[in-house]
Amino acid sequence: MRKICLLLLLCLAPMLTGCGSLYNERRELETLRLAETLGLDPAPGGVLLSLAASSGAGDETPCCFSGVGASLSEALEALRRRSLEAELFCGHLQHVLVGEAFARQGLDALLAAVCRSSDLRLDMPIYLVLDAAALDALSSSGDGKTSASDTLTSLGRGREASTLSSAGAILRDLDRQGCALIRSLRLQPSAETDPSVYTLVPEGFGILVDGKLRELIGPEDAFAAELLADTLTPCPLVLRDVQGRTVTVELQSGGTKLRPLWGEDGSLAGLELRVRVEAVVLEIDGFTQVADEGSLNALTARLEAELSRRIGRVLRLSRDLEADFLGLGPRLEQLSPGRCRGLDRELGTLLPELTLRLVVQGELRHSNDIN
Amino acid sequence: MQETHPYSFRQLRSLVGMALLSPILRLIPGSAAVYAGRAAWAGPLAALPLLLVYAALLSRLRRLMLPGETLPELCLRALGVRWGKTLLLVLGAWLLLYGGFVLRAGADRLLVTIYPRSGEGIFVVSMALLALLAALGPLRSLLRVARMVEPILLLTLAFILLTAVRDLDRSLLLPLTAADAGALLRGALPSLDILSFALAALCFFRPAQTDRPGSFRRSALWVVGLSLLLTAVGAAIQGRFGAALSTRFSAPFFALVRNLVFFRSLERMEALVVGLWIFPDFLLTGMTLSAAQHCLRLVFSRPPQPGERRLDLGNGRLLIWLCGAGMAALGLILGQGAASLLFWSRTLIPLLQLSVALLLIPGIFLLGKLRGRL
């Protein structure tokens, strides 16, 4: 009996080699084109899905395919039919680009697909393309050798890495607060001198409310949103000193401390936001020194005023939209769990009635003065 | 069940513990998160007091067993032949139903995670055949498999949990306040379901008498360990996805594995991990089939004897084949359609399991005591 079993097992062994036609999903690695970026735009009666594939193992240039369908799956099937020669492999998708029009209709279909699909990862960043379709961004960015996927990969490694809005983070925030931030990009010529080559440039954030794009945060206020969300990454900020000279400081680190202001009846009356920023002086017009206490204090005051102005704008936006896209609610709950459970409404809807007290504290740690 | 070669309580715990990994990863925290929201991860800890009471009761029951006796034999002794056999018929049918459901759920997991274009039939039938092969032989084979796969499965699980801890979001787990108490108790139900099954399963098998099978301390320590394991799994998944998002995945644990990056370079390991989880399915179905055929053979007064040959059809062993076929058939017909499978998984099976574990088995003990037969 044992010998018969062994013989049977030996007969079955060839099935494990992966050769022949035993597996209908078998594909040769060198013929595969890895789809890296998924683009989504609205189309009449459905969705326009585009995929940017890498150059592959051979000498092929990056390519872009698209398909239209009533749903994501149907559009993907239409795309596959168009790209039969290319042997597209979608199991290694790295980024998702959504056109502004698609985002305004809502990301629910995409986010639901992320939860269901075995190809889409939750840590995959989702970007919003402003004033352009995702298909345009995928097909027209790059110089023929590089593609939009390369730009997005660089973005993922660079300054925007820590503030990328991944599918998982968006889903989590939409579940928790009903709104979320999504990083926005703009399609622009890569150099002023060569308008024929386009690239994707980081812009700011889009604000998703109930899964739909409602408002935008411009590039000048992006760092303020990052500060309030405690995800600041170093970035330059241009100020004017008391003499009217241009001073560039680099915001190196910072964060926001939240303190609830409770009313006498136990209700939430307001919020105090203490923003702390550490910066260094990068550049000043001329050979001026600012290392003396008076100059530094004056510059710090300018820094604090500028930060207050920009942070105030983001907070006003949050209040106007009645959307807690900065995640203040969950942080408040960490501070006063018992009292926050007693609130009858979400923080977002409470924001218009709350007193918001903003305290900005800047510190210039180094002036890089010439000695 | 009598065995030619006695086994230790530790071996038995390994078998049941490894078999449990199948329902743990199916129900935690998805099902608990539906009932308890953010408090779901702490559900296993909330279930612990009741589980310890249950462990004490079952230890007492095991101490009342005569040498060579297991729960089915004790049931006959406590309730008499007529009622005892009726109850054994119910227990046997329940175990077959549970085994069939495990086959179906295991097949569904493979479809969802790795083979979306396949059918569940091939997975149900092949696993049922493996379980039949295990049930035809002595329990020792299953115990050996459990001991062999235990380090692999536990190391894999520990590695995944440690990697997941890095990205844990504390605000998705805490704070828990007094207002969460009700939700916490509701969230304890899936853990109670899983762990009460584990404790009850220990009574269907008989370790060597010299190994103090009725020790409460060892059962209690074991169930505390399992509770902590369930808590860790729940916290790792929920701390990464949040309670609401966890409920959207059909297999939250494998969604967690799919989204992990190991050492910043290794990803998409879910196929390997799902592959490993075939072992708990095999152990669980093998174990339930063994227990079911034991109950049903006692109904037909054909108790299992030590040293039975695998392909021998005498002494009621034909029932093992019939049970295997029945389990496979149940696996094929149960939970047709997503809504139906969800209903079986989240409502019907836990309800039946809790009824058997918390009503039927303590009922045997109480009736036996009342009738003065225990």
* The predicted structure's pLDDT at residue A192: 66
Probe site for chain A from B248, B249, B253, B274 (most A CB atoms < 10 A)? B248
Distance (Å) from the alpha carbon of A337 to chain B's nearest alpha carbon: 6
Least confident of A197-211, A247-261, A269-283, A338-352: A338-352
Give per-10-residue mean pLDDT for chain B (374 aa). 69 93 86 87 95 94 88 94 94 96 92 82 94 93 93 92 88 88 91 94 82 80 95 93 88 85 76 83 96 95 86 89 96 84 89 94 93 84
Q: In degrees, to the nearest 5, what angle opens at C-alpha B160 toward C-alphas B159 and B163?
A: 85
The answer to whether residue A128 scores a pLDDT higher than 70 is yes
Percent of chain A at pLDDT > 90 equals 44
pLDDT at residue A110 is higher than 50: yes
Q: For residue B211, what pLDDT is reported? A: 64
- pLDDT for res A21: 45
**B267: helix, strand or coil:** coil
CA dist., res. B78 & res. B41, Å (int): 39
Residues of A whose CB is below 8 A from B270: 118
pTM of the model: 0.85
* Number of neighbours of residue B371 by Cβ within 10 angstroms: 12
Nearest CA in chain A to B260: A123
pLDDT of residue A85: 64
**pLDDT tens, A265-289?**
888 999 999 999 999 988 888 766 6
Provide the token pair at B109.
């997991």
Residue A22 has pLDDT above 50, yes or no: no
* Contact at CB, B258 and A337, closer than 8 angstroms: no
A210 to chain B, minimum CA–CA distance in Å?
15
Percent of chain A with pLDDT over 70: 85
- Which residues in chain A are contacts of B179 at CB distance < 8 A? 338, 341
Cis peptide before B175 (omega within 30 of 0): yes
Residue B358: partners with Cβ closer than 8 Å, 6 or more residues away: B54, B196
> Residue A86: which pLDDT band, with cuts at 50, 70 and 90?
low
Interface of B with A (CB under 8 A): 112-114, 116-117, 169-172, 174-179, 240-242, 244-245, 248-249, 255, 258-259, 261, 267-268, 270, 311
The helix/strand count (H/E) of chain B reads as: 16, 0
Question: Cα torsion at B161, B166, B169, B175 (round to 10°)?
Answer: 70
Average pLDDT over chain A, rounded to whole? Answer: 85
> Pick the residue with more confidence: A137 or A161?
A137
Nearest to A172 among B170, B245, B311 (CB): B245
Indicate the burial class of B175 (C-beta count within 10 angstroms; 0-12, 13-18, 19 or more). Answer: middle
Residue among A91, A115, A338 whose CB faces B177 most closely: A338
This model of the complex carries an ipTM of 0.78
Output the pLDDT for position B27.
84
| pLDDT in the model for residue B222 | 94
- What's the 3-state SS for chain A? CHHHHHHHHHHHHHHHCCCCCCCCCCCCHHHCEEEEEEEEEEECCEEEEEEEECCCCCCCCCEEEEEEECCHHHHHHHHHHHCHHHCEECCCCCEEEEEHHHHHHCCHHHHHHHHHCCCCCCCCEEEEEECCCHHHHHHHECCCCCCHHHHHHHHHHCHHHHHCCEHHHHHHHHHHHCEEEEEEEEEEEEECCEEEEEEEEEEEEEEEECCEEEEEECHHHHHHHHHHCCCCCCEEEEEECCCCCEEEEEEEEEEEEEEEEECCCCCEEEEEEEEEEEEEEEEECCCCCCCCHHHHHHHHHHHHHHHHHHHHHHHHHHHHHCCCCCCHHHHHHHHCHHHHHCCCCCHHHHHHHCEEEEEEEEEEEECCCCC
- Give residue A217's pLDDT: 96
Encode pLDDT of A168-203 as tens digits: 899 999 998 999 999 999 998 877 667 777 888 889
Question: DSSP string of B269-310?
Answer: -HHHHHHHTHHHHHHHHHHHHHHHHHHHHHHTT----TT--T
Contact A172 B174 (CB under 8 A): no
Q: Greater confidence, A291 or A293? A: A293
A142 torsion bin: left (phi>0), alpha (psi -120 to 50), beta (else): left
Indicate if the pLDDT at residue A57 is higher than 60: no
- Chain B positions touching A334 (Cβ under 8 A) are 170-171, 174-175
